């Protein structure tokens, strides 16, 4: 189906404007326990890097594909997550000569799973995990020359992965990463306290690399705590976490500066 996207990104390392028009025919199938969806097709993209490393006023053709599996319980409890899960595979490719000046391929896999511990209704404790791995296959020289757009490079940090550091702050430079893996676990109390207050604790862990399908040895951790409130207008989450580094190789590059980080969000779930 057609998809039209406009986005403006303004972070400490970069500022960019991006638009995309994609035609992605889709197929779906439902079984007793899950739903599978596959979509693929061409996308015409435009990016203008105003500040930082990246192409200026570049237009190119890409091919996108996505395959996702979602359990029906995950869909049913989307507004009050407690059980079920999802897994998604995504790829994006550009080929030099096909209305593109470079060749680059991005592959990504991510998922999440929740368990209602004890099976109570409403739940007393919910344990959840989410994970993501992605890499871009490209000549590193193209990154240094600023020809690889921001949507094919990765920055970690924020309530989507490392909650102990600022939004998209890892690394702090404009080059970004070509590979990363992330896993987070969270234990949240359910309908135990009045007024829908749900305390939670969590641990996020991630690794990143400057090369394709390569990870540097440093492990970045974000232990923390927070609270979820089921408000009349949606889920409100507040978290406080500390970003720390496990330096497995003292001589390796370290991308994170340890500090405390607070996040407040509306409508965001784990």
26-54 tens-digit pLDDT:
999 999 999 999 999 999 999 999 999 99
The Cα 23–Cα 42 span in angstroms is: 6
* Cα 212 from Cα 266, distance rounded (Å): 35
For the four alpha carbons of 75, 80, 86 and 90, in that order, the dihedral sign comes to positive
Q: Which pLDDT score is estimated for 230?
A: 87
**How much is the pTM?**
0.92
Element (H, E) at 104: strand 104-117
Closest CA to 268 of 127, 160, 154, 192: 160
Q: How many whole angstroms separate alpha carbon 245 and alpha carbon 259?
A: 10
Query: Any idea what the CATH number is for the domain that residue 83 is in?
Result: 2.40.160.50
By residue range, what is the domain housing residue 35? Answer: 2-266
Class of residue 147 by CB neighbours under 10 A (exposed 0-12, middle 13-18, buried 19+): middle
* Residue-level pLDDT at 34: 97
What's the pLDDT score for residue 1? 73
Q: Is the CB of residue 111 less than 8 Å from the CB of residue 128?
A: no
Name the domain count of the chain. 1
Q: Is the dihedral of CA 228, 229, 231, 236 positive or negative?
A: negative
> What is the per-residue burial (b if ≥16 Cβ within 10 Å, else e) of 43-64?
bebebbbeebbbbeebebebbb
pLDDT score recorded for residue 197: 93
Kindly give the parts of the chain with pLDDT less than 70.
Answer: none
- What tokens appear for 218 in the block? 């440093």
- Retrieve residue 140's tokens: 């590193």
pLDDT score, position 268: 82
Structure tokens belonging to residue 189: 């109390």
Radius of gyration of the chain (CA): 20
């Amino acid at each position: 189906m057609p998809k039209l996207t406009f986005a403006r990104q303004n972070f400490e390392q970069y500022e960019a404007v991006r638009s995309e028009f994609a035609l992605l025919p889709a197929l779906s199938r439902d079984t007793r326990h899950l739903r599978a969806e596959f979509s693929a097709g061409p996308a015409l993209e435009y990016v203008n890097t105003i500040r930082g490393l990246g192409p200026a006023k570049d237009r190119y053709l890409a091919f996108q594909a996505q395959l996702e599996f979602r359990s029906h319980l995950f869909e049913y409890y989307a507004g009050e997550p407690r059980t079920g899960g999802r897994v998604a595979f995504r790829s994006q490719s550009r080929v030099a000569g096909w209305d593109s000046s470079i060749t680059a391929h991005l592959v990504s896999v991510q998922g999440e799973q929740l368990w209602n511990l004890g099976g109570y209704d409403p739940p007393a404790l919910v344990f959840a995990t989410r994970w993501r791995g992605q890499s871009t296959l490209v000549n590193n020289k193209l990154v240094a020359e600023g020809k690889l757009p921001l949507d094919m490079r990765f920055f970690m940090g924020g309530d989507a992965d490392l909650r102990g550091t600022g939004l998209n702050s890892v690394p702090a430079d404009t080059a970004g990463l070509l590979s990363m893996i992330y896993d987070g676990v969270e234990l949240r109390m359910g309908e135990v306290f009045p007024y829908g207050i749900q305390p939670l604790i969590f641990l996020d862990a991630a690794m990143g690399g400057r090369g394709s399908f390569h990870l540097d040895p440093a492990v970045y951790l974000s232990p923390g705590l927070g609270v979820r409130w089921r408000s009349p207008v949606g889920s409100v989450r507040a978290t406080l976490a500390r970003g720390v580094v496990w330096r497995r190789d003292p001589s390796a590059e370290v991308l994170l500066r340890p500090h405390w980080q607070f996040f407040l969000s509306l409508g965001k779930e784990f």
